[in-house]
A = this chain, B = another copy of it.
Amino acid sequence: MNISDVAKRTGLPAKTIRYYEEINLIRPARDTNGYRVFKDTDVHKLAFLGRARALGFAIEDCRTLLALYEDETRASADVKRVAQDHLTQIEDKLAQLESMRDTLTHLVQECAGDARPDCPILKDLAKD
C-alpha cells in the first residue's frame, strides 16, 4: 500500500505519516523505486497513533503507549499512569482556560461595543 492510501484509511496527512517515520514511530518497508510500502501492521499502528494524538497525548507519550501496546507482558498500571498524568495535565489546562473564559466573558459583556472609545476591556488590561 502506498502512502496516499494509508492517508485515506487512517485520516492522517501523508506529511504526518512521513514525519512519524522520521522520528521512528513506524518503519515502513521500501519498494525498489524508493516508495514506502505499508503493511497492515503499519496502518494499524498509524491508526493507533492517530487516536492517541486525538486524545491529546504528546508524541513521546504515543511512543510509550505504542511500546506498551506491543509488549504483551506490560502491566496495565504502566498504561494507566501515562493516561492519568495526561488527564491531570488536561484538567490543569481546562481550569486555566475556564478562568480565562470567565474573565473574558465578563469583560465582553461589560463592553458596549459601539463607536465610543470608552472600553472596560482596555481599562482592565491597563489597571495599575
A83 touches B56 (CB 8 A): no
Chain B residues near A100 (CB, 8 Å)?
Answer: 54-56, 90
Q: A68 at interface (Cβ–Cβ under 8 A)?
A: yes
Of residues 66 through 90 on chain A, the ones whose CB sits less than 8 Å from some CB of chain B are 68-69, 72-77, 79-81, 83-84, 86-87, 90
Q: A34 at interface (Cβ–Cβ under 8 A)?
A: no
Nearest-neighbour CB distance to chain B for A104, whole angstroms, equals 5
Nearest-neighbour CB distance to chain B for A127, whole angstroms, equals 8
Q: How many residues of A contact B (CB 8 A)?
A: 51
Known contacts A68-B122, A100-B56; decide if A117 and B87 are in contact (CB<8 Å). no
Q: Which residues does A use to contact B, with CB under 8 Å?
A: 44, 48, 51-52, 54-56, 65, 68-69, 72-77, 79-81, 83-84, 86-87, 90-91, 93-94, 97-98, 100-101, 103-105, 107-108, 111-119, 121-122, 124-127
